[in-house]
Chains A and B, each alone.
Chain A
Amino acid sequence: MAYTLRSWNDFKNYQTTCYRNYLHASEGLRVMGSTWSVLAPLKGLGEDILMIGGEPHAASTAGTFPEEAREDIIAAETAGLGFHSCSYLKLFTGEVVRDRIGITDKTVKEGYPKPDVIWTTHLCSQHSKWYQEVSRRLGGIPMYAIDMIGGGNAEKDPKLVTYVCDQINEGIRWLERVTGREYSDELFVKAVRNEIKCLVLWGNICALNRHAPAPLDERRLIALFPPAVVDRTTDESVRLYETLLKEVKHMVGTGQSVAPDQRYRIVYFGIAHTYGHPEMARILRDAGAEIVASVYTFGTCGNFKGIVNGTWSWDPIDPAWVDELDLSTRRKAITELAKIVLGWPTWQGVRSYWALESMARAMIAEYKADGLLLAPSRSCETDFRNGYVGLQRIFKSQIPTIEYDSDQVDVRKMDLPGAQRKTELFVHLMEARKRRSA
């Protein structure tokens, strides 16, 4: 019998509360930007920082308001953004163009709430350009983008770490200047520890999916990491993930799963379109095939040991390690924060084909996968599109592998019938392999 997560509603409420606060607050500092940014530096400005992050907001809007999402994307295109541009970017910018915003509690607010500052990051060729455009459209919001020069083992390269740390340090000075607020290192350090703790806890939760049956499926994974994306700097966020870790450990101990019928275990590389397209998920579910591991849900806001002796390891990091981190100075806190964020698997693969390949190899082995499902996202500039073409070439002779195009939130770009047929074929391939090896 399928297990029902007790902490599910708490996660949903946390996420919705963050968005409500951003939309409706009459006081406090509104901050917009990519949630792939380091968030703790914002918290040194006070306890009234209200954030909205581009990717999770766009994803949840698409899930909550499919029609609105389409209108937003079309509005952005009419305003000049390219058909092939990032659909998260277009949905987000489309809301600004239409001057209305919808959030996960199913409310739509007329009048886009302007941020006080934009704090973001830059990695792919359009990442910070997203917010340059939003800033321009909102009349010139001050913005600071950090060049997170990721790619294969970046967190262990002192040159890259120093570069990112120096930018964060400059960024904190800029935040003080532009907001006129006094900066609290005490609040900052507290937020850093929380941020790192959440990332490590999420890694531990994901790693429990190595068990059979895997306690969580892709649908839960995609829904449970957004709180870590939206705001992972609060005591509340740490408490949520600690509670979830306990619960998932209990599931493993008692052999329970949210989707217990797992004849086939799938490793998935792609953004979570199977959740957005229930037709796809249904084919897998009906065949007893579950996505038990994916680089997107695991590694967008989660940390693992990463490259160890030249090869990737999805082993989790001991949460106790976070408590022992020396964060006694601003610089030390910045350095630990930069290292943990540079270590995100999604970033490691953006500019490093060897890291991406190593990650896939390790995930297939560690999660005892029966198949590899690759779904490059047509409008994503990062490894969520291109790296997968290379992966398909490498893995198709080793494990049942299929690849079809998807898109993060633009349903127009999904060849649903074609993808469905390929998925059915994928299930047959996995079954044939099982029979051969039986």
Chain B
Amino acid sequence: MKKDSNTIIEHFRSINEDPHEYAKSLHAKGQRVAGTMCTHVPEEILHAAGIIPVRILSSHQPQAMTRSYIHETYCSFSHDCAYQGLTHNYDFLDLLVTSSSCIHMGEAFNVWVRFAGFEGKSFLLSYPHIIEAKPAAAFMKQSYDEFRQFLETFVKRPVTDDDIERAIKVYNHTRRLLKRLWGFLRRESPPITGPDVAAVTLASQFMDKQEYNPLLEELVKGLEAEPGNKAGGVRLMVSGGACDDMAIFDLLEHLDYSANLIFVDSCTATRYFWFEVPEGRADKLEAIAEGYISRIPCPSKDNVPGTGEKKRFRFIQEFIEEYKPDGVVFLYQRFCSPQPMDVVALRPILDKLGIPSTDFELDTTLPVTQFRTQLEAFLETIKGVVPRE
């Protein structure tokens, strides 16, 4: 069983290594493929229309091309995503979709539409910037309806409520399985490592859920039967923005001190799936809106009207109670605005809880040596660090 689990994990990791090839292979099989640039895109509606959503993420290739399209003080993630449009890596996509999300990724989308030939095959979904606003649900429902109508024209067939209900069930199945997978990391002796869990989760954003779900189910069932390995290292939680560079998570577990990644609060990990869309509702679009509102909010959209509360902090505190980290690593893109602004407010909360934290800024490539030094120094500040044998 152990071998089978490893084989499945390796399969997911290989897709993460080259999601572009994977997407291309779907297209070659005659399937319609849509690139998505934000996890607020309701993938269920695409799925219901028979289109496979594939998230556009970084290529991690150093480049200077995008500097003359996007200001240098935009995050490297947005530059990298724009770059892939400008180099025509994804010309085979049938469609490009995003929701109005952070300004930086909005510009990456604009570059594809404006300068990379996607003007005639793109859709920008109007989406609230304050997800907790009371009228947000009604607004989202209208936007989803426009999206559905657009897709109906695009695929030249109706996208029925039954189609959407089926898609909701497929996606909820993925979400439940992923929650079970992350649940292993609560244990003292998990049968899977944090970096592997992060890699499996990332693959869910590229893969056709019909192909992904059975593999994930097999993995989760296999792991449930496994005894697990005593982790014993410093338990580290990561909180931040999009991070598709799995090397940072692998690095966390290969330091001179023993450390274990036990949770990742980001849109490339738990923020992507830590919610469900209500099933069996008469109004499918309303149900999707309700589900997406209940997500762990993206920092760029998190502001409860009336109090100014950041709802994401509640989730983080719950995760801290459940996963019991010894330290928190804030990991966000350089030049990102909303993430570090949350860190300013979050750090005092962690201080009160007695949980040390440190910050890392991500760029196109990973400065492994510097990160290693900083991480090891961080671990040294946490009580109970055991030198690696």
Q: Which of B135, B303, B337, B343 contacts A122 (CB 8 A)?
A: B303
Chain A at the B interface: SS class: mixed
Binds B, one of A46-54, A100-108, A160-168, A415-423: A160-168
A136 within 8 A of B: yes
Q: Which of A80, A163, A170, A174 contacts B344 (CB 8 A)?
A: A80
B359 CB, min distance to chain A CBs, angstroms = 10
On whether A166 and B135 interact (CB within 8 A), knowing A125-B103, A149-B128, the answer reads yes
Q: Would you call B126 and A129 a contact (CB within 8 A)?
A: no
C-alpha spacing A378/B73, complex, angstroms: 7
A151 within 8 A of B: yes
Q: Would you call B344 and A147 a contact (CB within 8 A)?
A: no
Specify the chain A residue showing the minimal Cβ separation from B139.
A163
Q: Would you call A132 and B73 a contact (CB within 8 A)?
A: no
Q: Which of B126, B310, B337 contacts A132 (CB 8 A)?
A: B310
Q: Per-residue 0/1 for B288-327: is the Cβ within 8 Å of any A Cβ (1 yes, 0 no)?
A: 0000000000011001011110100000000000000000
Please name all residues of chain A whose beta carbon is closer than 8 Å to the beta carbon of B303 when the two chains form the complex: 122, 128-129, 132, 145
Q: Would you call A142 and B306 a contact (CB within 8 A)?
A: yes
Binds A, one of B104-112, B184-192, B198-206, B242-250: B104-112
Q: Would you call A79 and B344 a contact (CB within 8 A)?
A: yes
Q: Which of A118, A125, A131, A144 contacts B337 (CB 8 A)?
A: A125
C-alpha spacing A387/B100, complex, angstroms: 16
Q: Would you call B308 and A132 a contact (CB within 8 A)?
A: yes
On whether A142 and B71 interact (CB within 8 A), knowing A147-B129, A147-B130, A351-B100, the answer reads no
Specify the chain A residue showing the minimal Cβ separation from B309.
A132
Specify the chain B residue showing the minimal Cβ separation from A169.
B135
Interface magnitude class on chain B: 35 or more
Please name all residues of chain A whose beta carbon is closer than 8 Å to the beta carbon of B110 when the two chains form the complex: 353, 390
User: How many residue pairs bridge A and B at CB < 8 Å?
Assistant: 143
Specify the chain A residue showing the minimal Cβ separation from B307.
A142
Residue among B68, B129, B305 facing the most chain A CB atoms (10 A cut-off): B129
Please name all residues of chain B whose beta carbon is closer than 8 Å to the beta carbon of A123 when the two chains form the complex: 129
Q: Per-residue 0/1 for A326-349: is the Cβ within 8 Å of any B Cβ (1 yes, 0 no)?
A: 000000000000000000000000
Q: Which of B69, B74, B102, B134 contacts A393 (CB 8 A)?
A: B69
Chain A residues at the B interface, C-beta cutoff of 8 Å: 79-82, 84-86, 118, 122-126, 128-129, 131-133, 135-136, 141-147, 149, 151, 159-160, 162-163, 166-167, 170-171, 174, 178, 350-351, 353, 376, 378-379, 381-382, 385-386, 388-390, 393
Chain B residues at the A interface, C-beta cutoff of 8 Å: 68-71, 73-74, 100, 102-104, 106-107, 110, 113-115, 126, 128-130, 133-136, 138-139, 142-143, 146, 299-300, 303, 305-308, 310, 335, 337-338, 340-345, 347
A-B contact pairs, 13 of them (CB 8 A): A82-B337, A125-B104, A125-B300, A125-B337, A128-B303, A135-B308, A142-B307, A145-B303, A159-B139, A159-B143, A167-B133, A382-B103, A390-B110
Which are the 4 A-B pairs with shortest beta-carbon distances? Answer: A166-B135, A143-B308, A80-B344, A147-B130
Known: A151-B100, A393-B69. 6 other contacts (CB 8 A): A82-B337, A124-B337, A125-B102, A129-B338, A378-B73, A393-B115
